[in-house]
Chains A and B, each alone.
Chain A
Amino acid sequence: MELILATAACDPSVDIICAPANVNELFEFREAIFTIAGFPVTRTVILILSIALIVSAFLFFGLRKKSIVPTKFQAAVEAIILFVRDGVAKEIIGEHGAKYAPWLLSIFLFILVGNMFEVTPFINFPVTSRMALPVLLAVITWVVFVFAGIKRQGFGYFLGIIWPSTVPIFLRPLVGLIEFFSILILRPLTLAIRLFANLVAGHLMLVLLIVSGWVFISSVGDIGARAGIGVAWFVMGLGIFVFELVVIVLQAYIFTLLSAVYVQTSLYPEH
């Protein structure tokens, strides 16, 4: 509890909880635990780097045996990889899909594990609710789909966006403008904000319900039976916990799916 709300200066022996002065303090852990050559290693930085470790370990231990008859763990890892490779990359992008599978699978696993930190005991903090990660991934997706379009169609890719030939000529400037904003600016922005907002909202709900529950229950000496409200908050918090598990997987999937769709529209604009 102190870990989450550690920033406000207060006396834990007097206050039940150290209330944050600002909502940002539920998300910002900018104090460097230590620095490497001037680079501040914060709690969030450690968590982000540990995603790489977890994903690598997951893949390594899941795949190293190459058994003909897979263990349950191996089968699960294979199922996830095949889900992204076949279910997303090949299914959405088509014949060139397999080429984009490493990128899509990386995005999926990175977001999934980053999101999972939201409901991981003792971590309880989705690093994907830090704008840095959604922005980073959205920019990568933007670069990939723009380059896919240029590689496939040359600079006709941009021309196709701002001067869409399938639209009546008098509407082309308007539609072209809308398309330009929609594809090149709104796409990465919405991609980033969707992920960010979902995880921020989820984290806030969990913090609110569980902290409220904690406050009420531990005030039982002062407020008597009314402290029972805290139990309701806790139960609700647990319900949201399950709901968040769904959101975690769904958001990772949606980000990956939309990235694939964007590449597909760059490769085959006629569709």
Chain B
Amino acid sequence: MYMALNLILATEAVTPTAEESGGIDLLLPAPEELIAGLIAFSIIFLVVWKFALPTLKATLQQRQDAVKSELESAEKSKQEAATLLADYKAQVAGARKEAAQIVADAREQGEAVKADIIARAEAEADQIKARAHEEVLAERERVAGDLRRQVAELSIDVAEKVVTSSLDAEAQRVLVDRYIEELGGVR
């Protein structure tokens, strides 16, 4: 090493001093450095032993606890959400069922009302028909009565005329024709 340095420094003609203690000095520990090293190592050991490792252990424990509790609360929230979702689903299903029920009820009611209206209309129609029928019958009865009375009166008239006038063939034929004509007029 010394040689190499000299080689490089040769241009400068630096003359090395004569004292050469040899490399062995390098291998012997200097007492003051040994003591300083022992002091420094003791300090480091104490700091590591009493501060660094326990502190790190506590920090890691704390971190682990935090992560654990976070996970637990997340799990809890998840469960709550699931319960809530199930509740909502049940509610929605209930509501849907109820709506369907309402629609079905309304439809049923509608049908009933419809049937009722139809039945009532039919009944009313029947009633009207029956009344009309009765009225017709009554009218017919009255007309028949009238007719009968007129026929009777006519008969009486005819009888009177027969009695009062001569009853020749011509006269009879005219009489009958008139009678028939009168009858036709009655109708």
Contacts and interface: CB of A to CB of B under 8 A. Distances in A.
Interface in A1-53: 8-10, 15-17, 19-24, 27-28, 30, 39-42, 44-45, 48-49, 51-52
Contacts of B53: 81, 85, 101-102, 105
A116 B146 CA distance: 149
Contact of B32 (A45, A82, A208): A45
Contact of B44 (A78, A85, A106, A204): A106
Contacts of B63: 68
Interface stretch (B23-31, B159-167, B174-182): B23-31
A51 B48 CA distance: 13
Interface string B1-37: 1101110110110101111111101111111111111
A39 B55 contact: no
A178 interface: no
A254 interface: no
A78 B33 CA distance: 30
B20 A21 contact: yes
Contact of A45 (B11, B29, B36, B55): B36
A60 interface: yes
B66 interface: yes
A189 B125 CA distance: 130
B115 interface: no
B59 interface: yes
B5 A208 contact: yes
Looking at chain B's contact residues, the main secondary structure is helix
A106 B30 contact: no
B25 A24 contact: yes
Interface in B107-135: none
Nearest to B42: A52
Contacts of B48: 59, 102, 105-106, 109
A49 B36 contact: yes
A95 interface: no
Nearest to A200: B26
Interface in A59-118: 59-60, 63-64, 66-68, 78, 81-82, 85, 101-103, 105-106, 109-110
Interface string A111-138: 0000000000000000100111101110
Contact of B6 (A19, A42, A55): A19
A16 B62 CA distance: 60
Contact of B17 (A9, A106, A196): A9
A257 interface: no
Most buried by A among B28, B31, B32: B32
A45 B33 contact: yes
Contacts of B56: 63, 78, 81-82
A132 B33 contact: yes
Most buried by B among A10, A82, A110, A208: A110
Nearest to A17: B9
B49 interface: yes
A258 B44 CA distance: 20
Contacts of A132: 29-31, 33-34, 36-37
B47 A55 contact: yes
Contacts of B30: 28, 30, 44, 130-132
Nearest to A68: B66
11 contacts: A22-B20, A42-B32, A44-B36, A48-B37, A49-B40, A63-B52, A81-B56, A131-B28, A136-B41, A215-B12, A219-B11
Given A59-B51, A215-B8, 19 more contacts: A21-B16, A22-B21, A24-B23, A24-B25, A28-B30, A42-B32, A42-B33, A59-B52, A68-B63, A78-B59, A81-B52, A102-B53, A106-B44, A110-B41, A131-B28, A132-B34, A133-B33, A135-B34, A211-B8
Interface of A: 8-10, 15-17, 19-24, 27-28, 30, 39-42, 44-45, 48-49, 51-52, 55-56, 59-60, 63-64, 66-68, 78, 81-82, 85, 101-103, 105-106, 109-110, 127, 130-133, 135-137, 140, 196, 200, 204, 208, 211-212, 215, 219, 222-223
